[in-house]
Structure 1
Amino acid sequence: MQGHQGQVVIRLPAEILPACVTLRHVDPELTPAGFSSSAPGEFAVFGLDVDSEEEVPLGSFSFNVRKAPLQTFLLENNHSRAFRYIKVLVKSNWGHPEYTCIYRVQVHGKVVEKMAV
């Protein structure tokens, strides 16, 4: 993403009750400096209802670049809604002024079966 902020919207293959998200960034040991300032820092996750254009907050988190390159974050499950779209909003990175990198985003949860009408 250009800059130190950005967002990505993920269309899931089915509606799910989201439980957690996993973010992956490059392993610091693979970078020349042993540190990656382009890693996301503060970020938030939302469930999107495309019909009503509502964004349901699912949690705010911090990706710690000094920890493992693969980090899982437990979503706030005080909702019982399933979503087909998940938005990850990166609020800051670890200092890179030109871009922010996310290598992988995984959404974990339970598939919700649609009832026939």
Structure 2
Amino acid sequence: FSQDRTGLADFALESGGQKQNQVLMFWGVGLRSLSLTCPDVHPGSCWAFKGSAGVLVLRLSRRILPTSFSLEHLPKALAPSGGRLSSAPRDFSVYVSQRDHGRFLLGSFTYDEAGEALQTFRVLVILVCLFINVLSNWGHQDYTCLYRFRAHGTLYVFRRKHILVTTL
């Protein structure tokens, strides 16, 4: 990748400090070879999972005050199916895990198949671990591909007066 194209720091990027050994297992398969946290969106360089729904847990490189997330799929021009993105995630939710507070929904979003390959979704809450729950894809019955997911925000510095209590 010659440029990131968002101009935003990516706290889910492996080269930015995201710990592969801290990424949780998915269906008993280690995610060490996961390309989702690397800047590569070439055909086949994705995290493919069976069916149209799945869950991925990413441990971020740092605690952040998130401002947005970006989901990137293969550009239509590179799609082996003639520009059809049936394996792209369609509807997805992002959750945050906070120690002693459980899991909270940050938001539910729709990746626009007709839009740009790289799409950004705005949010606001302190987080260190994400649960990305893909709810459906754009029609492929056998699998869904996630090419890249990014977490953007500013570093969070804990101060006693900044205690987050939320019920999303």
* Shorter-chain TM band: 0.7 to 0.9
> Of Structure 1 and Structure 2, which has the larger fraction of its residues in strand?
1
> Which TM-score applies when normalising by structure 2?
0.62
Greater RCO (CA < 8 Å, at least 6 residues apart): 1
Aligned length: 111
Q: Deviations over 1:2-56 (max 9, x none)?
A: 110011111111111111100000001112321110000000111112x336111
1:13 and 2:57 aligned: no
Q: Deviations over 1:48-92 (max 9, x none)?
A: 12x3361111111100111101000012x3xxx521101111000
- 8 Å contact from structure 1 (residues 29, 35) kept in 2: no
Q: 2:121 aligns with which of 73, 90, 94?
A: 73
Number of the residue aligned with 1:111: 155
1:48 and 2:97 aligned: yes
> Which TM-score applies when normalising by structure 1?
0.87
Unpaired stretches in structure 1, ≥5 consecutive residues: none
- 8 Å contact from structure 1 (residues 16, 111) kept in 2: yes
Letter in 2 for 1:55: R
Task: Quote the Cα distance in structure 2 between the aligned partners of 1:25 and 1:19.
Answer: 20
Unpaired stretches in structure 2, ≥5 consecutive residues: 1-48, 160-168
**4+ residue stretches of structure 1 with deviation over 4 A?**
none
Percent identical: 36
SS at match of 2:77: helix
Task: Quote the Cα distance in structure 1 between the aligned partners of 2:51 and 2:103.
Answer: 23
Q: 1:98 aligns with which of 112, 123, 142?
A: 142
